[in-house]
Amino acid sequence: EGIIVMTPAIYMIALIISIGILLLLTLKLKVNSFMALFFTAMALGIFFGASPLDTLNAITGAFGSSLGSIGLPVLFGAILAMGVQDSGAAIAISNFFVKLFRGKHLELAPTLTAYIMAISVFGDISQLLTAPIAATIAKRKNLNMSVVTPYVITAVWFTHGVVPPSAAILAVAVLLGADVGMVIIWGLIICLAALLIIYFLTVNWMTKHASYAAPKPEYTVGIEPARENATLDELLIKEDNIPNTLVAFLPLVGPAGLIALASICNMTLPEGNTLRAIMNFAGDKSIAMLIGIIILIVTNGKIKTKMIRNANRTEKIDENASLLELGMGNWVSRAIDVSAMVLMVTAMGAAFASVLSSQPVVSEIAEVVASSGIPMILIPFIIAAVMRAAAGSMATASMAAAGICLPIMSTLGLSPVAVTLAIGLGTVLFGHVNDSGCWMCQEVFNVDLTQYLKYVSPMAAFGGCVGMALLMVLSMIGLV
C-alpha cells in the first residue's frame, strides 16, 4: 500500500515537488546531477508506495538497462570527438560552408558546422570546437557575436537534443521503442529546415538591433578584418594541414548515415536478405560509431604529426606514436574522462524516468489531457519544454518527459518516432541560467548573460517551435 491514495492531482504535486528537490540539490546545494537524480528518484519511489529496497532495485534495473543501450555508442562518439578535435575537421567544414554560400550569409558557416559536429560530438565539445571558428569569421567580416552566437547554439541544441546518436535522445528513442534510424533521418531534416527558416526570418532584425559583442580576443590573435571587397579565398580560415572536406565530413555524418541506411533496409528489404543483414550489423549504433573512428584514423595519415601535436595539449603522447596508438590509446583515455559523467547522468535520468512512469495514474492524466482538445503531439513537446525550464539539463528534461510519456503512448496515438522527436524539440526551449551550457556559451562566445537571455535562449525557443510546427505537418500527413 502507498503512503496515500494516488490520484492525478497528487501525482502532479509529487512531480512538481520532485523537480523542486532536483533544483534545490543541484543549484542551491551544488550536488552533482547524478546524485541529485538518484536521491530524487529514491524519494519519489518511496512516496509512490514502494519499499526502499524495491525502489532501489527499480532504479538499478533501469540504470543498467539504459547504460547497456547507450554506453558503447556514446563512448565511441566521445572517442570520435577527440579525433575530430585533433584533426581540425571543424575548420575544413566551416570553410566548405563559406565557399558554399560564396562568402555571403557568413553566420551560417559556424552555424552549419555546429549542426554537423553535434550529430556525433557532445554539445559542450561542439561549442568548444565551433567558438574559435565563429570568432575568426566574426573578426574577418566585422560580425557581431550577439548575432552569430544564437544561431550556432540553436544548431548545437538541435542536433544534440533531437538527433541520435546523442546520448539523451538515443536513450529516449530506445525507451519509447522508436526506430533510431528514422529518428535520425527526420530529426536531421526537421532541424536543418527549422534552422534555415529562423535564420532567414531573423538575421536582418538581429543585425540591426542586437547589442554588440566582440569576438573573444584569445581566438583572434593575429587575425585582421578582411577588405570590404575581399575575395572568397581571403575569407577562408587558413591553417596548416587541415583535412580535405570529404575527410572532415565522413567520420561525423558516416555513422548517422549507416544507422539511417539500416532502418531504410529494414523497411524495404525482406527478412533474410544479405544486404539487410550486413546493414543491420554496420548500422548498429555501436558499430556505426566505431566505423566512424576507423574512418578518422585511416583517412588522416597525412596529418598525423599535427594530430599528435594537438593531442599533446591534453595528454602526453610520444611524437613517433602510430595513428593506431593515438586513436585507440590517447583518444580512448580522454574520451572516458569526457563521457563518463554524461553516461552516468543520462542513465540515472532513465532511472528517474522509470520511477515517474511506474504509476498507473499517469494514464488517467493522459485521458484528462486528451479530452481537453490539445493536439496530442504537443503533449510530449510541452512536457519536455517545461522540464527543460525547470531542470536546465537537456538530458534530464528528455528522460523525465520520456518517463511521463511512456505509459500514455496508447492514449497519444502517435508513432514512437513522432513522440521522440517532439520530446527532443521540446528540450531545445527555455535554456537559461540553470543550464551549465549557459555559462560555457558566455565564456567561449564572449556574450554576456543579458545577451544570452535576450538573444540566444529566445532564438533556440523560436527554432524549437518552428521545428515542432514542421513535425506536426509531417505527422498529420502520416510521414512520421
Position 183 scores a pLDDT of 94
Which range has the top average pLDDT, 84-98, 152-166, 236-250, 391-405?
A: 152-166
C-alpha distances in Å from residue 22, one per residue of 17, 28, 153, 169: 9, 10, 25, 21
| pLDDT band per the 50, 70, 90 thresholds, residue 315 | low
Position 416 scores a pLDDT of 95
Position 425 scores a pLDDT of 96
Residue 243 DSSP one-character state: P
17 closest CA partner among 40, 48, 35: 40
Query: What is the pLDDT of the chain when averaged over all its residues?
Result: 86
Percent of the chain with pLDDT over 70: 98
Cα–Cα distance measured from residue 334 to residue 339, given in angstroms and rounded to the nearest whole number:
9
Cα–Cα distance measured from residue 457 to residue 423, given in angstroms and rounded to the nearest whole number:
18
Across residues 383-405, what is the average pLDDT?
85
Position 1 scores a pLDDT of 46
Position 314 scores a pLDDT of 66
Contact assessment for residue 38 and residue 59, using Cβ atoms and an 8 Å cutoff: yes
Q: Is the pLDDT of residue 41 over 90?
A: yes
Position 3 scores a pLDDT of 52
Position 39 scores a pLDDT of 94
Q: Which pLDDT tens digit goes with each residue over 136-168?
A: 888 888 889 999 999 999 999 999 999 988 888
Percent of the chain with pLDDT over 90: 33
Task: Report pTM.
Answer: 0.81
Q: Which residue has the higher pLDDT, 371 or 193?
A: 193
Residue 428 DSSP one-character state: T
Cα–Cα distance measured from residue 290 to residue 333, given in angstroms and rounded to the nearest whole number:
15
C-alpha distances in Å from residue 59, one per residue of 6, 31, 66, 236, 469: 20, 19, 11, 51, 35
Look at 18-27, 140-149, 163-172, 228-237 and tell me which has the smallest mean pLDDT: 228-237
Q: Is the pLDDT of residue 282 over 90?
A: yes
Position 4 scores a pLDDT of 64
Q: Which residue has the higher pLDDT, 224 or 18?
A: 18
Which range has the top average pLDDT, 187-191, 227-231, 251-255, 358-362?
A: 187-191
Question: Going along 92-229, which residue ranges are E strands?
Answer: none
Across residues 452-465, what is the average pLDDT?
93
Residue 406 DSSP one-character state: G
Across residues 120-137, what is the average pLDDT?
81
Where are the domains positioned within the chain?
68-342+350-476
